[in-house]
Amino acid sequence: MAEYEDTYEKVMELARRRGFVWPSSEIYGSVAGFIDYGPLGAMLKRRIENIWRNFYVVQEGYYEIECPTVGIEPIYVASGHVGGFSDKMFQCPHCQEFLRADHVAEAFGIPHAGTMSKEELHDVLLDKECPACGKVLGDVEVFDFNLMFTTSIGPGGQRKGYLRPETAQGMFVDFPRLLRF
Protein backbone atom coordinates (compact mmCIF):
# COMPACT_ATOMS: atom_id res chain seq x y z
CA MET A 1 0.00 0.00 0.00
CA ALA A 2 2.81 2.41 0.86
CA GLU A 3 4.42 1.80 -2.55
CA TYR A 4 1.11 2.65 -4.28
CA GLU A 5 0.73 5.85 -2.24
CA ASP A 6 4.33 6.82 -2.97
CA THR A 7 3.80 6.30 -6.74
CA TYR A 8 0.52 8.23 -6.61
CA GLU A 9 2.19 11.17 -4.86
CA LYS A 10 5.01 11.18 -7.43
CA VAL A 11 2.53 11.22 -10.33
CA MET A 12 0.43 13.96 -8.73
CA GLU A 13 3.51 16.08 -8.03
CA LEU A 14 4.55 15.73 -11.68
CA ALA A 15 1.01 16.70 -12.77
CA ARG A 16 1.19 19.81 -10.55
CA ARG A 17 4.63 20.85 -11.82
CA ARG A 18 3.70 20.32 -15.47
CA GLY A 19 0.44 22.26 -15.27
CA PHE A 20 -2.16 19.49 -15.47
CA VAL A 21 -3.88 19.76 -12.07
CA TRP A 22 -3.36 21.37 -8.69
CA PRO A 23 -5.40 21.94 -5.52
CA SER A 24 -8.09 24.63 -5.85
CA SER A 25 -7.58 27.80 -3.83
CA GLU A 26 -4.12 26.57 -2.91
CA ILE A 27 -2.95 29.97 -1.65
CA TYR A 28 -5.79 29.93 0.91
CA GLY A 29 -5.27 26.36 2.15
CA SER A 30 -7.11 24.13 -0.30
CA VAL A 31 -9.77 21.56 0.57
CA ALA A 32 -9.39 17.87 -0.28
CA GLY A 33 -11.32 16.82 -3.37
CA PHE A 34 -11.28 20.21 -5.11
CA ILE A 35 -8.86 20.60 -8.02
CA ASP A 36 -8.19 23.12 -10.75
CA TYR A 37 -7.21 22.01 -14.23
CA GLY A 38 -4.13 23.87 -15.40
CA PRO A 39 -3.51 24.75 -19.05
CA LEU A 40 -2.43 21.24 -20.08
CA GLY A 41 -5.03 19.55 -17.87
CA ALA A 42 -7.87 21.63 -19.30
CA MET A 43 -6.70 20.86 -22.84
CA LEU A 44 -6.40 17.12 -22.12
CA LYS A 45 -9.80 17.02 -20.41
CA ARG A 46 -11.44 18.81 -23.34
CA ARG A 47 -9.86 16.41 -25.85
CA ILE A 48 -11.09 13.37 -23.90
CA GLU A 49 -14.59 14.89 -23.66
CA ASN A 50 -14.63 15.57 -27.42
CA ILE A 51 -13.52 12.03 -28.26
CA TRP A 52 -16.20 10.62 -25.94
CA ARG A 53 -18.84 13.00 -27.37
CA ASN A 54 -17.97 12.09 -30.96
CA PHE A 55 -18.08 8.34 -30.25
CA TYR A 56 -21.18 8.15 -28.03
CA VAL A 57 -23.26 11.11 -29.24
CA VAL A 58 -22.40 12.23 -32.77
CA GLN A 59 -21.70 8.82 -34.34
CA GLU A 60 -24.79 7.32 -32.69
CA GLY A 61 -27.02 10.16 -33.96
CA TYR A 62 -28.05 11.44 -30.52
CA TYR A 63 -28.56 15.00 -29.35
CA GLU A 64 -27.28 16.76 -26.26
CA ILE A 65 -28.93 19.18 -23.92
CA GLU A 66 -27.33 21.45 -21.32
CA CYS A 67 -29.14 22.34 -18.14
CA PRO A 68 -28.26 24.60 -15.20
CA THR A 69 -26.12 23.12 -12.45
CA VAL A 70 -28.49 24.64 -9.86
CA GLY A 71 -32.13 23.60 -9.71
CA ILE A 72 -35.16 24.48 -7.62
CA GLU A 73 -36.02 22.39 -4.58
CA PRO A 74 -39.13 20.59 -5.94
CA ILE A 75 -36.96 18.78 -8.53
CA TYR A 76 -34.79 17.20 -5.86
CA VAL A 77 -37.67 16.50 -3.47
CA ALA A 78 -39.43 14.58 -6.27
CA SER A 79 -36.28 12.61 -7.13
CA GLY A 80 -35.71 11.63 -3.49
CA HIS A 81 -32.36 13.39 -3.27
CA VAL A 82 -33.36 15.87 -0.55
CA GLY A 83 -34.58 13.17 1.81
CA GLY A 84 -32.15 10.38 1.06
CA PHE A 85 -28.90 11.57 -0.49
CA SER A 86 -26.61 11.27 2.52
CA ASP A 87 -23.70 9.33 3.96
CA LYS A 88 -23.47 7.97 7.49
CA MET A 89 -20.53 9.69 9.16
CA PHE A 90 -18.95 10.22 12.56
CA GLN A 91 -16.27 12.41 14.09
CA CYS A 92 -13.34 10.81 15.88
CA PRO A 93 -13.40 12.07 19.48
CA HIS A 94 -9.60 12.11 19.59
CA CYS A 95 -8.33 13.67 16.34
CA GLN A 96 -11.63 15.36 15.29
CA GLU A 97 -11.43 13.81 11.80
CA PHE A 98 -14.78 13.23 10.06
CA LEU A 99 -15.02 9.75 8.55
CA ARG A 100 -17.57 7.68 6.65
CA ALA A 101 -18.84 5.07 9.10
CA ASP A 102 -19.49 2.41 6.45
CA HIS A 103 -15.99 2.79 4.95
CA VAL A 104 -14.32 2.41 8.34
CA ALA A 105 -16.47 -0.64 9.16
CA GLU A 106 -15.70 -2.24 5.79
CA ALA A 107 -11.96 -1.62 6.31
CA PHE A 108 -12.29 -3.79 9.43
CA GLY A 109 -13.88 -6.58 7.36
CA ILE A 110 -17.52 -5.90 8.23
CA PRO A 111 -19.54 -6.98 5.16
CA HIS A 112 -22.41 -4.88 3.77
CA ALA A 113 -21.70 -1.94 6.08
CA GLY A 114 -23.25 0.39 3.51
CA THR A 115 -26.68 -1.09 4.24
CA MET A 116 -26.41 -0.84 8.04
CA SER A 117 -28.41 1.60 10.16
CA LYS A 118 -26.74 4.34 12.21
CA GLU A 119 -27.31 2.28 15.36
CA GLU A 120 -25.74 -0.84 13.85
CA LEU A 121 -22.72 1.12 12.66
CA HIS A 122 -22.38 2.72 16.11
CA ASP A 123 -22.23 -0.74 17.70
CA VAL A 124 -19.71 -2.01 15.14
CA LEU A 125 -17.38 0.97 15.66
CA LEU A 126 -17.29 0.87 19.49
CA ASP A 127 -14.07 -1.14 19.75
CA LYS A 128 -12.47 -0.16 16.42
CA GLU A 129 -9.48 2.11 15.98
CA CYS A 130 -9.65 5.39 14.11
CA PRO A 131 -7.80 5.02 10.79
CA ALA A 132 -6.54 8.60 11.11
CA CYS A 133 -5.05 8.57 14.63
CA GLY A 134 -5.12 4.91 15.71
CA LYS A 135 -7.04 5.43 18.97
CA VAL A 136 -10.10 3.37 19.93
CA LEU A 137 -13.23 5.19 18.76
CA GLY A 138 -15.54 4.24 21.62
CA ASP A 139 -18.99 5.79 21.81
CA VAL A 140 -19.18 7.87 18.62
CA GLU A 141 -22.36 9.44 17.26
CA VAL A 142 -23.10 8.24 13.72
CA PHE A 143 -25.10 10.86 11.83
CA ASP A 144 -26.51 11.42 8.34
CA PHE A 145 -24.44 13.91 6.36
CA ASN A 146 -26.52 15.42 3.56
CA LEU A 147 -24.49 15.51 0.35
CA MET A 148 -26.65 18.17 -1.30
CA PHE A 149 -25.19 21.66 -1.69
CA THR A 150 -27.92 24.16 -0.80
CA THR A 151 -28.26 27.68 -2.16
CA SER A 152 -30.81 30.49 -2.40
CA ILE A 153 -32.31 31.55 -5.72
CA GLY A 154 -33.53 35.02 -6.58
CA PRO A 155 -33.65 38.32 -4.73
CA GLY A 156 -33.99 37.92 -1.01
CA GLY A 157 -33.21 34.21 -1.25
CA GLN A 158 -36.89 33.31 -1.29
CA ARG A 159 -36.48 30.07 -3.27
CA LYS A 160 -34.35 27.20 -2.09
CA GLY A 161 -32.14 25.53 -4.66
CA TYR A 162 -29.55 22.77 -4.86
CA LEU A 163 -26.47 22.06 -6.90
CA ARG A 164 -27.59 19.08 -8.95
CA PRO A 165 -26.15 15.84 -7.59
CA GLU A 166 -26.10 14.12 -10.98
CA THR A 167 -26.00 15.34 -14.56
CA ALA A 168 -28.98 13.23 -15.67
CA GLN A 169 -31.44 15.34 -13.67
CA GLY A 170 -32.03 17.82 -16.50
CA MET A 171 -33.22 15.26 -19.04
CA PHE A 172 -35.90 14.02 -16.65
CA VAL A 173 -37.18 17.51 -15.95
CA ASP A 174 -37.07 18.41 -19.66
CA PHE A 175 -38.62 15.12 -20.84
CA PRO A 176 -42.05 16.53 -21.83
CA ARG A 177 -40.38 19.16 -24.02
CA LEU A 178 -37.85 16.69 -25.46
CA LEU A 179 -40.66 14.26 -26.31
CA ARG A 180 -42.12 16.91 -28.64
CA PHE A 181 -38.73 17.82 -30.18
3-state SS track over 69-88: CEEEHHHHHHCCHHHHCEEE
Name the domain count of the chain.
3
* 22 and 103 fall within a common domain: no
Q: Give SS3 for 141.
A: coil
Could you tell me if residue 65 is inside a domain? no
CB 140 within 8 A of CB 91: yes
Residues 54 and 77 in one domain: no
Q: Which domain holds residue 141?
A: 89-145
Of 153, 181, 157, the closest CA to residue 75 belongs to 153
Decide if pLDDT at 60 tops 80: yes
Same domain, 18 and 46: yes
Nearest partner of 137 among 102, 181, 91, judged by Cα: 91
pLDDT at 166: 85
- Nearest Cα residue to 164 out of 155, 151, 177: 151
Nearest one of 152, 143, 83 to 118, comparing CA atoms: 143
* pLDDT of the residue at 126: 95
Residue 161 resides in a domain: yes
Distances (CA, A) of 106 to 94, 111, 116, 124: 21, 6, 11, 10
**Does residue 12 fall inside a structural domain?**
yes
Note the pLDDT tens digit of each residue in 3-42. Answer: 767 898 899 999 999 999 999 999 998 888 899 999 999 9
Residue 124 CB neighbours (<10 A): 20
Per-residue confidence (pLDDT) for residue 111, from 0 to 100: 93
In angstroms, the Cα distances linking 107 to 2, 89, 125 are 16, 14, 11
The string of pLDDT tens digits covering residues 119-178 is 999 999 999 999 999 999 999 999 999 889 999 999 988 899 999 988 888 899 999 999
- Quick one: pLDDT band at residue 1, thresholds 50, 70, 90? low
pLDDT at 169: 87
Decide if pLDDT at 69 tops 90: yes
Write down the pTM of the prediction: 0.69
Predicted local distance difference test score (pLDDT) of residue 23: 93
Q: Looking at residue 27, what DSSP letter applies?
A: G
